[in-house]
Amino acid sequence: MSASLDKLAARAAELRRTLERASYEYYVLDRPEISDLQYDRMYRELCDLEEQHAELRTLDSPTQRVGAPPQGQLAKHAHLLPMISLGNAFDDDELREWETRLTRLVGEDPQRTYTAELKIDGTAVSLTYENGVLVTGATRGNGVIGEIVTANLRTVRDIPLRLDDPNPPRLLEIRGECYLPFDKFEELNRERTKAGEPIFANPRNSAAGSLRQLDPGETARRPLRFFGFAAAAPPGVTLPFSTQPELLDTLQRWGFPVEPHRQRCATLSDVTAFVHHVEHTLRAQLNFGIDGVVVKVDSLALQEELGIIGGREPRWAIARKFAPDIAITKLLAIEVNVGRTGALNPYAVLEPVEIGGTTVKLSTLHNEQLVHEKDLRVGDYVQVKRAGEVIPQIIASLPERRDGTEKIWKMPKRCPSCGTPVLRDEEEVAVYCPNVACPGRQLEGLVHFASRGAMDIRGLQYKRIAQLIAAGLVNDIADLYALTVDQLVSLERFAEKSAEQLVAAIDDSRSRPLSRLLNGLGVRHVGEGAAQLLARRFGSLDALMQASLEEVAKVRGIGDIIAHSVAEYFSETNTRKLMDRLRRAGLTLTEPQARSAGRSLAGCTVVITGTLPTLSRAAATELVESNGGNVTSSVSRATTFVVAGEAAGSKLEKARTLGIEVVDEAGLLRRVEGDS
């Protein structure tokens, strides 16, 4: 390198250090020491240097935060060590039970202390640094495998591109949470409204969606922030800390923002006092979402000794979750939606109210019985609960606030969509429209038929189906297989290429096995699991249609209710005509015999609940069954273990009550691979 280039390289290095320090002072410390004009001038100088001499451009240059080309797809990344999930404590008693379990394992220790940290309601990421330079950024994924979003994470100004350490570890991962501050979230939605774009639902989902953008430039336009809270290194790499407080201090020294409202606690009573302070006082003052406090044993050596439960939850840490967010608002109306199986589902129209950073306008009501049990009347003031990603629910009405104008609601006697008299099932809980040609059932039924868990017809979304129905091209599922490119291109916003792609996707769905078709038909009470059981037992549509009620009921996992529903469905003249049309359309009406992938889950009874990171419900069920296990829909003492994902509800709670083991997707995969 020439003397002149050496001088330019030194200047580029100086500019990188100054600009990175300025970003840290501005974004992390909120204490800028140089003006925006000074920053811009130095940034432009560095850009010019790198443009004129490409060899001066480095991975840790501030110019690399934005500007990578859009990605075709997100590649996979194996974490150095699994990103484990936390167990939950929902009250002080459960927190004390957690400490009791620790004491049982390692005994009483007056020197044992805890660190309590705010549980940020964002999206977890990992950052891999080699010799102090950021080389890979990834999402959590299933805890073992994530998706690479390096270019997107480089746009997050909080994240250092190089560790501020002259002798950094050779290789390590920093774990943390990306989030959107409340004020930035509101500002972003105002901008999207002005631009005529749909607004985001809540900060948490917005952060996750922003990181998975294929265009890093789009991520850069969203003001994501970051908090670090953990570090992981492979065997042979020594990290310079031995306690959780030292770890957090080191992260700060390296240049990472660490949430400041953390507290070292000598006793569990100190932890509990801190939790109550955060939940009832501090939480309302924060500019970002939290849903609890994470409590960790301080000593990393003790953490190692305590270990991890089933490869899923650390014994040495727990999340003390807050009570769900609750607000009071007015019940403006109770309306009814007709589902794909004809079920009439009431839902509440609410006076808009903000709960946990999200504006809530609608709430599920499940069925008529629930409305009457809770004595909900149109015009009532009601308490609405929203916990995490759970759909908003009405807890109760406030009868003391009634003024006499409230009206008792009753389920309509005729279908609100087609006017057909409604029927009740034997238990008088569900009310449904028996008209298989009901317009309400028609749209929802077609949407379900085309969905990923059923026939998986790509490009056939809700708006497209509504357009096809409005144009008179489609009335039922068999009509889909008669669509032509010429018919589609005559519709608004249908180019020839997209028309060809949709016709090809519909044609491709003809090869889906019988189990997918049965799920797509929308038979009452028949979901993915029941469809697979029926298809595997009878092997063909003809055999199932000819089976007696008793034969169907004898299938393990089916029972009388599903059997009656199946028999009733296939006894209908319109159903048989529809099946004949599907047969003539060339659909696959048989189920291939599944070959067992292994016997690692032989004898296991498994329940799957919530949304898994990478596996669909159908794929997870197939994985369990192909490895010798049996998937059921309800938790009982006969359940071997529960696979829980995001927004797992009552099944997860019942499993904990019964003391049944709970694993996440990564835990399921390890069991299948024989590593548990």
CA 172 to chain centre: 27
The answer to whether 93 touches 280, Cβ cutoff 8 Å, is no
Q: What backbone torsions phi and psi does residue 135 show, to the nearest 5 degrees?
A: -115, -30
Task: For 420-473, give the DSSP string.
Answer: PBPEE-TTS--EE---TT-HHHHHHHHHHHHSTTTT--TT--HHHHHHHHHTTS
Using DSSP's 3-state secondary structure scheme, residue 496 falls into: helix
Strand 88-89 versus strand 317-321 pairing type: parallel
Rounded distance between C-alpha atoms, residue 521 and residue 570, angstroms: 11
Number of H helices, E strands in the chain: 24, 26
Which of the following is catalytic: 7, 76, 119, 361?
A: 119
Rounded distance between C-alpha atoms, residue 557 and residue 595, angstroms: 20
DSSP 626: H
Is 651 designated active site?
no
Instruction: List the alpha helices (DSSP H) in 611-649.
Output: 617-626
CA 266 to chain centre: 35
DSSP 280: I
Rounded distance between C-alpha atoms, residue 22 and residue 28, angstroms: 10
Strand 381-386 versus strand 325-338 pairing type: antiparallel
Rounded distance between C-alpha atoms, residue 161 and residue 153, angstroms: 10
Please state at what angle helix 203-211 crosses helix 182-194, rounded to 10 degrees.
Answer: 70
Rounded distance between C-alpha atoms, residue 248 and residue 61, angstroms: 25
Using DSSP's 3-state secondary structure scheme, residue 156 falls into: coil
The answer to whether 605 touches 556, Cβ cutoff 8 Å, is no
Q: What is the distance between the terminal CA atoms of the chain, rounded to a whole angstrom?
A: 55
Rounded distance between C-alpha atoms, residue 390 and residue 610, angstroms: 10
Q: What backbone torsions phi and psi does residue 69 show, to the nearest 5 degrees?
A: -70, 155
Please state at what angle helix 617-626 crosses helix 665-672, rounded to 10 degrees.
Answer: 30
Three-state SS for 205-274 is HHHHHHHCCCCHHHHHCCCCEEEEEEEECCCCCCCCCCEHHHHHHHHHHHCCCCCCCCEEECCHHHHHHH
Catalytic residues: 119
